[in-house]
Structure 1
Amino acid sequence: MFAALPLLALPVLAYNLAAVTLPGGFGSQEAAIRMSEPMFDVAMSTGVRWPVTLGDLLLLAGLIVLFIEMLKSTTSRRTAIVNHALSLLLFIGCLVEFLLAPAFATSTFFLLGVMVLLDVLAGFIVTIVSARRDIDFGPGDP
């Protein structure tokens, strides 16, 4: 049952938790500030310090999870179809949050939403293509 849950819900949930802890909650406009505050620095070989932000970490997690979701979408089991439907619901939720809640009007959340949309589109396309290959045509059929 857990295989059907879209993993991209995890970075979206993490963003929601970060946004709800802001003063003013989802109505706060300080989410962009929180997402761009450096959490730690990484020393590069050139001597420059690379500041890593919460938004960077959420996007990294989203990209890793998107890769896993792409691998999961290649199966044509019933759980994959449920996963695609739940991913579509997740995208609709992300779209509503992005359009209606000020705390979600950030580039970080927009890119997370695009990742969810790509998961939905890729999942449906991969399922359709693999379903077309599973159909057997008789002799003489195209």
Structure 2
Amino acid sequence: MYQMFPLLAISLVVYAVLALTGAAGALWYDSTILELTMVSGEVWIVSAGDIFLLVSMGLLFVELLRSTKTGSESIMNHALSVVVFIASLLLFIIVKGFGNSVFFLFMTMTFLDFMAGFIVTTVTARRDLAVGGGLSG
């Protein structure tokens, strides 16, 4: 069951809860979490949106590693990843609070997740057919 669940769905739910409930403020992703003064004298401002994207990239990395596996759980994971991408796309286009750069970058991650899964599965299947003698040429 765990292998089928797309991890980026967790990020989508977190974003949706924060955006739709307004629990963290109207523009929660712009709120400053940390300010660090660099050696150069510049101040690096880390926002909640930056943290959200960082965590989502970590989940995307795990998803990309999981996409290399084959089996029915992996295929179901790819199918559910398509659902997460479509839901993200619709939210981005239709729902207020989702049409911003932070969510756009997240939506791009969901696209990369399902495309990577599709490509890796296709390449793996072709390799398996070639090794098994089922594909000539």
* TM-score, with structure 2 as normaliser: 0.89
Shift of 1:141: 3.2
1:137 to 109, 133, 137: 133
Secondary structure at the residue paired with 1:131?
Answer: helix
- 1:11 counterpart residue number: 11
- 2:40 counterpart residue number: 46
- CA-based RMSD of the aligned residues comes to 1.9
2:31 to 37, 54, 70: 37
| d(CA) in 2 for partners of 1:35, 1:43 | 21
Q: How many residues in Structure 1 have an aligned counterpart in Structure 2?
A: 134
- Matching residue's letter, 1:88: V
| d(CA) in 1 for partners of 2:43, 2:83 | 40
Q: Which runs of 4+ in 1 moved over 6 A?
A: none
CA-to-aligned-CA distance 1:47-89 (integer Å, 9 cap, x gap): 4331111110111111111111110000112111000000000
| Aligned pairs (5 A) from 1:1-142 | 1-22=1-22, 31=26, 33-135=27-129, 136-137=132-133, 141-142=136-137
Stretches of structure 1 that go unaligned for 5 or more consecutive residues are 24-29
Stretches of structure 2 that go unaligned for 5 or more consecutive residues are none
| d(CA) in 2 for partners of 1:141, 1:74 | 24
| d(CA) in 1 for partners of 2:56, 2:28 | 18
The structure showing larger relative contact order (alpha-carbon pairs under 8 Å, at least 6 residues apart) is 1
| d(CA) in 2 for partners of 1:9, 1:57 | 16
* TM-score, with structure 1 as normaliser: 0.86
